[in-house]
A and B are shown apart, each in its own frame.
Chain A
Amino acid sequence: MPLSFYCLPGLRWSTPLNIGIAQTDVRLGALEDNLEKHLEWVKKALDRGVDLLVFPELSLTGYRLLHLTGRVAVRPAGSALLKPLLEASRKLALIVGLVEEDGHGTLYNSSLLLSDGRIAHCHRKLYLPTYGIFQEGRFFGAGRTLSVAPWHDNVLGLLICEDLWHPHLARSLAMAGAKVVIVSSASPGRIGPGATPESQEVWETLIRSTAIVNTCWVVYANRVGWEEGSFYTGGSLVARPGGDVHCRAPFVQEYLLTADIDLREVDRLRWRLPLVRSQRSDIEGAP
């Protein structure tokens, strides 16, 4: 039997996936400026041999848009804004964030996976925080579906920020085959007595516990910079299947974090720790 029979199409077992996290600042409402920055970071990532470059939540528009939301909305199909990014996606896959207009009067906070010159997947944020300083529910519609990205053996699941706070979503992705859960985020920081921003401690707990209970990689891409007096923490990180922190970016400053992700590590862990396959959906219902 030829060796290729044993190899997953698209990705070879022995080849790690080199993921890059673009921990960038974003100019609020400035699509062209942000596009230019995306293309600069694509160049940097290519120099580092990145296969998949992940940008933060709403990376093309900025986060706290309020009544600017509609003004920066994009219909992805045929969008002139996405064209240069689609072109770049022939060299490496990209996950970018934008305000997606569906043409039926609803705007979504979406992450797009761009690969081989096309939109391979779109995740519309499912949980829209509308409390405290967050006002997403006023301006966005919530997504209605969740699925793994149909890309490279369906091993990628995309979530956006608040989605990770609802643990059944990551579980659902893991059950559907995700070995890597990617979380694009625009998470604002708070500072107290500790050396780590308080908000980051909560996030790290969530990310690591997601990696533990779903025995998968978790890639957290958070932005930096200021909007209307609120700062974003950065502190992007990658957690291994099992929950250890594989690598992390610094706080507050722009940074390109790269990580070789061995997908087989997920398989090996799941052989001995079958948390995902032992899910009792018959009792608990599908997650």
Chain B
Amino acid sequence: MIRRQDVRDRLRLNTELATEVLSTFIADAVETTASNGVVLGLSGGVDSALAAALAVRAIGAERVHAFVLPYHSSSPDSAADAASVARDLSLTLRSIDISPMVDAYFDSHDKEADQVRRGNKMARERMSILFDQAKKLGLLVLGTSNKTEILLGYSTIFGDNASSINPLGDLYKQQVWQLAAHLALPQQVIDKDPSADLWPGQTDEGELGFTYEIADEVLYLMFDRGLSPSEVAARGYPEKIVERIGALEERNRFKRRLMLIARLSGSAINLDREIPRD
């Protein structure tokens, strides 16, 4: 029987091996698609910093195009941390202020929009810019969503969860931290409270109502190991939190399976014709 302390051990990664393998993932995708490199948004957080560091290892800094995409309410610390990551990795960092684009929509059409909708719009505006830059320069958009937030649905569909390739999507948050430490990313980026920074004072753990440590372990037991919520709770996790994590995972599955096509023909895309990409 897997015990709670075993879960922590199971979430430990051999960081050297994982780094090597994930670097080949990026290099392989760039080569296979004959792209010129990758583009990503640096938020100042640990996920995008790690994705950038892996990309630099894979294809060299000159082929990694980094953007910081602040909104006027974004914390200045975010941009400063993004700059520090870029400096560490010898990346050229370009800044595009998304405030005019986001505000133009809400000011003209929906002044009453709540902060969640505004946050979603910001996330999509950023991804829209990254895909445009990718088109302009012949690049792949590097995703930076980790497994914890993908499973919890703590992301904006077609926003931060959109990408061409995602090297972090099978890493729980604490595994992201492990790799970030291994790659000696700036300490303040590793140590700070994770935040989508979509409104002032927002933190992931505050909004979710539980810590990443708990979320990772509960998700590992449910998703990776197939335990039921009651079996998870029996291992010493608070029942209410387990239920909430289970409900979030279930409710947000739609964000993980894009393009739901109504099948009529018997040769529907994806369902009847699974044509893989290399």
Contact = CB atoms under 8 A, between A and B. Distances in A.
B16 A192 contact: no
A189 interface: yes
Interface stretch (A62-70, A204-212, A264-272, A276-284): A62-70
Contacts of A252: 20-21, 24
Contact of B12 (A25, A193, A225, A251): A193
Interface string A60-101: 001011111000000000000000000000000000000000
Contact of B9 (A66, A68, A191, A193): A193
A195 B25 contact: no
B14 A67 contact: no
Given A191-B21, A226-B29, A252-B24, A64 B276 contact: yes
A28 B276 CA distance: 8
* Residue among A65, A189, A192, A228 with most chain B CB within 10 A: A192
A21 B150 CA distance: 39
Interface residues of B, number: 22
A253 B18 CA distance: 14
A37 interface: no
B13 interface: yes
B273 interface: yes
Nearest to A63: B276
* Residue among A65, A228, A229, A252 with most chain B CB within 10 A: A229
A193 B276 contact: no
B58 to A, nearest CB: 12
A151 interface: no
B25 A227 contact: no
A194 interface: yes
A233 B28 CA distance: 14
A27 interface: yes
Nearest to B277: A228
Given A194-B14, A195-B14, A66 B274 contact: yes
Contact of B278 (A191, A193, A227, A231): A227
Contacts of A29: 276, 278
Interface in B2-22: 9-10, 12-14, 16-18, 20-21
Interface residues of A, number: 28
B32 interface: yes
B25 A192 contact: no
B126 to A, nearest CB: 23
B275 interface: yes
Contacts of B24: 226, 231, 252-253
B13 A67 contact: no
Contacts of B10: 192-193
Interface string A215-227: 0000000000111
A153 to B, nearest CB: 40
Interface in A229-287: 229, 231, 251-253
Nearest to A231: B21
Contacts of A67: 272-275
* Residue among A25, A193, A227, A252 with most chain B CB within 10 A: A193
B15 to A, nearest CB: 10
A68 B14 contact: no
A49 to B, nearest CB: 30
Given A225-B28, A252-B21, A192 B14 contact: yes
Interface in B250-276: 272-276
B18 A191 contact: yes
Nearest to A64: B276
Contact of A227 (B13, B20, B275, B276): B276
Contacts of A141: none
Contacts of B12: 192-193
Nearest to A26: B278
Interface string A15-32: 000000000010111100
B13 A226 contact: no
A143 interface: no
Interface of B: 9-10, 12-14, 16-18, 20-21, 24-25, 28-29, 32, 272-278
Given A66-B274, A226-B32, 18 more contacts: A27-B278, A28-B276, A28-B278, A30-B278, A66-B276, A67-B273, A68-B275, A193-B9, A193-B10, A193-B14, A196-B17, A197-B17, A226-B25, A226-B28, A228-B276, A251-B17, A252-B20, A252-B24
27 contacts: A27-B32, A27-B278, A28-B278, A62-B278, A64-B276, A65-B276, A66-B275, A189-B21, A191-B13, A191-B14, A191-B18, A192-B14, A193-B9, A193-B14, A194-B14, A195-B14, A195-B16, A226-B24, A226-B28, A226-B29, A226-B278, A227-B276, A227-B278, A228-B278, A229-B25, A231-B21, A252-B20
